[in-house]
Amino acid sequence: MSEHCPTCGTNLSEFQPPKKTHTLQQWFDEVAQGEYKGMKLLTPRDASTLLGWTWVADDKNPECCGQPVRVYSIIGCPYHAECEKCKKWMHSVTVQQGNSWMSFPPEYVDENTKAQWVVKPAIAIAVASF
C-alpha cells in the first residue's frame, strides 16, 4: 500500500531525495571569492594549529596571546572562534547567521565532514600549502 500526498496526490513511496552532488570542499571551491579563492577547508584542530593556537585540554577552548579564544555558537554548535587580542579567527562555512557569511544548498552539498573551517585570509595565504 503506497502513501499519497493528500494535497497533490503524489505517490510518496516513489519520492527520491535529490542526490548530493558536491562535497563541501567542491562547493566552496566554486563559490569562494577574493582572498578565500583556493583556500582549503580545515578541521577545527587543523585550523587552530594553523593559527598558532595552543590546546591546554581537549575539553577547553584553545588559547592565543595567553588567554582562551572566544568561541561563538548557535544552539551549542560552534561557528566562529576569535582571539580577542590579536584578532586571528576561524569560521565554519556551514553555519548560517543573520545575513549568512556563506549559504550553500544542503540538498546538493554533503556537509558531513569535520573539514568545514576557514581561517583569516592573511594567515591562510602565508601558509597556503598547509
pLDDT band at 129 (very low <50, low <70, confident <90, very high): very low
The C-alpha atoms of residue 130 and residue 128 are separated, in whole angstroms, by 6
User: pLDDT tens, 3-47?
Assistant: 777 777 777 777 666 666 788 888 888 888 888 888 888 988 899
pLDDT in tens, 67-110: 999 998 888 778 889 999 999 999 888 765 454 445 566 666 77
Report pTM.
Answer: 0.68
d(CA 129, CA 37): 14
CA 53 and chain centroid, separation: 18
